C-alpha cells in the first residue's frame, strides 16, 4: 500500500476558500507555526517538486513565530506504527529527512511523529502552554490526513487552528479543498499566507515618513503632506513583496497613516 503518485496542482486562491464559521483574528504574539511532515518520503510522491508549497511555507517562516516540525522516524517498525500499518503498510523506511527548501533553522523544535495528530504522544501542547500560545498555524502535507487531524485535535484542546490553504498540499486538489471545507465548518479559520501577514502601525508610519519631506500625523491627509501616486505605488510594491494584499485603490480610500494601516490589516483573521 504505497503512497500514490500525485501530480502537482494549483494551490487554492483566496477567492476559492470556504467561509469559516469563526472569525478569530490571528495574533502573532499568541501563535506557533507547525510545519507538518515535510519529509522527502512524503514529498517524493509528487511527480515534480512542489515549488509553490515550499514558497508558501517559507513565507510563513517569515512571520517569526516559534516553529515546530513533525517528522516520522525511519525506518518505521510495526511495534510503533499500530493501525497505521493496516492502512498504509510498513510506512517510511528511508528518505526521512525534511526537504532542504523548508528545513528547520536553529531554535526550531522537531517533534517525533507517532500518529496522524501532531499532539499524539508528543509534548506539543505542553510546550505551547509554556510559551503562552493558544493559536497554531498549520502547513505541510497531507491536508486531509495528518494536518486535518491535528487541526481537529487542536480545536478540542482549545487551541485555535489557522489552516493555511496555499501552504498545504494533498493527494489531489479535490481532497485539499475538502479538508479546507471541514476545518472551516467545524474547527478553525481557513486562510492564506497573505491573510496572515501582519504589519504594525509603527512600521507603516516609518515607511510613509521615509518618503515624505516633512512630518505627518497618523490622521493627517498624506496627499496634503506631499505623498504622490508614484510614492504610493512604491509602498504598494514593497508591501506586496511581504505578502500583504493591498492595492493603490485600497490606500486611496483613506490616505492617512492610520488609514493605510487599516487597509493593510483589513480582512486579516
CA 226, CA 98: separation in Å to the nearest integer? 50
15, 36, 219, 261: the catalytic one is 36
- Catalytic-role residue among 27, 37, 123, 213: 37
The torsion of the CA quartet 182, 188, 194, 199, rounded to 10 degrees, works out to 180
Cα–Cα distance between 229 and 8 in angstroms, integer? 40
Catalytic residue status for 37: yes
Alpha helices by DSSP H, listed for the chain, are 40-43, 51-61, 78-81, 84-88, 124-131, 148-156, 173-186, 193-196, 201-209, 229-241, 248-252, 257-265
- Please pick, among 27, 44, 113, 213, the residue that the annotation labels catalytic: 113
Q: Which of 237, 84, 70 is nearest to 138 (CA)?
A: 70
Q: How far apart are CA 195 and CA 61, in angstroms?
A: 14
Our answer to whether residue 36 is catalytic in this structure is yes
Instruction: Tell me the backbone φ, ψ of residue 88, rounded to 5 degrees.
Output: -125, 0
The Cα–Cα gap between 83 and 54 comes to: 30
Can you give the C-alpha Rg of the chain in angstroms?
Answer: 21
Q: How far is CA 180 from the centre of its chain?
A: 13
- Measure the CA–CA gap between 138 and 13, rounded to whole angstroms: 17
Q: What are the backbone angles phi and psi of residue 244, rounded to the nearest 5°?
A: -85, 125
In DSSP terms, which residues pair with 164 in a beta bridge? 191
List, by residue number, the catalytic residues: 36-37, 113
Amino acid at each position: 500500500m504505497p503512497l500514490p503518485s500525485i501530480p502537482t496542482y494549483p494551490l487554492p486562491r483566496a477567492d476559492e476558500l470556504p467561509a469559516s464559521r469563526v472569525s478569530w483574528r490571528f495574533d502573532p504574539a499568541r501563535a506557533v507555526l507547525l510545519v507538518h511532515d515535510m519529509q522527502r518520503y512524503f514529498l517524493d510522491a509528487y511527480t515534480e517538486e512542489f515549488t509553490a508549497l515550499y514558497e508558501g511555507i517559507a513565507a510563513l517562516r517569515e512571520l517569526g513565530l516559534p516553529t515546530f516540525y513533525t517528522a516520522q522516524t525511519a525506518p518505521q517498525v510495526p511495534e510503533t506504527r499500530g493501525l497505521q500499518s493496516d492502512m498504509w503498510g510498513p510506512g517510511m523506511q528511508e528518505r526521512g529527512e525534511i526537504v532542504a527548501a523548508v528545513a528547520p533553522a536553529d531554535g526550531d523544535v522537531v517533534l517525533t511523529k507517532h500518529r496522524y495528530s501532531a499532539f499524539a504522544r508528543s509534548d506539543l501542547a505542553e510546550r505551547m502552554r509554556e510559551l503562552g500560545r493558544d493559536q497554531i498555524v498549520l502547513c505541510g502535507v497531507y491536508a486531509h490526513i495528518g494536518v486535518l487531524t491535528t487541526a481537529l485535535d487542536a480545536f478540542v484542546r482549545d487551541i485555535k487552528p489557522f489552516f493555511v490553504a496555499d501552504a498545504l498540499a494533498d493527494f489531489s486538489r479535490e481532497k485539499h479543498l475538502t479538508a479546507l471545507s471541514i476545518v472551516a465548518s467545524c474547527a478553525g479559520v481557513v486562510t492564506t499566507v497573505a491573510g496572515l501577514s501582519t504589519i504594525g502601525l509603527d512600521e507603516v508610519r516609518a515607511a510613509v515618513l521615509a518618503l515624505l519631506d516633512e512630518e505627518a500625523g497618523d490622521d493627517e491627509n498624506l496627499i496634503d503632506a506631499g505623498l504622490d501616486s508614484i510614492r504610493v505605488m512604491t509602498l504598494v510594491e514593497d508591501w506586496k513583496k511581504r505578502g500583504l494584499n493591498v492595492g493603490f485603490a485600497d490606500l486611496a480610500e483613506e490616505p492617512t497613516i492610520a488609514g493605510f494601516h487599516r487597509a493593510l490589516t483589513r480582512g486579516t483573521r
